[in-house]
Amino acid sequence: MNWLTIALIVFVVLWIYERGRSNRLRRENRQMMSRFDGAPSDRVDEKAASRTPDEIDAAELAELRERVQVLERIATDENSSEARKAQRIAREIESLRGDIARRSSKTTEDLSE
């Protein structure tokens, strides 16, 4: 075997590897595009394949806006007057528990002396 045969074998092996990788990336890309359309990932329609990057970006932006709305609702709900009142009551309960624990430890110390 000469060096040209070895180089040819290496070239064919690398070409097959890259071809499989390319097919795998195309398949993953089609699955991602179909996920944004709401279609099942195993079935890709022509609509999903023909979407432009701008349409995909618009879909991602709409999804992010929904998430921000949810986060805003959570932030405002936690800062409402009822939530603050519940937090204040919870702090009072915890402080009372601490007082009771301190008192009980003092009485056990007094009894042991």
Using an 8 Å Cβ cutoff, are 29 and 6 in contact? no
pTM (predicted TM-score):
0.32
What are the φ/ψ torsions at residue 101 (nearest 5 degrees)?
-65, -40
What are the φ/ψ torsions at residue 79 (nearest 5 degrees)?
-105, 10
Please give the DSSP secondary-structure letter assigned to residue 80.
S
Please give the DSSP secondary-structure letter assigned to residue 1.
-
pLDDT tens-digit profile of 10-26?
Answer: 999 999 999 999 999 99
In 1-113, alpha helices (H): 3-37, 46-49, 53-78, 81-112
99 alpha carbon, distance to own chain's centre: 42
Measured CA to CA, the distance from residue 38 to residue 48 in angstroms comes to 10
The region of weakest confidence among 15-19, 25-29, 92-96, 101-105 is: 101-105
Report the pLDDT value the prediction gives residue 75, as an integer from 0 to 100: 75
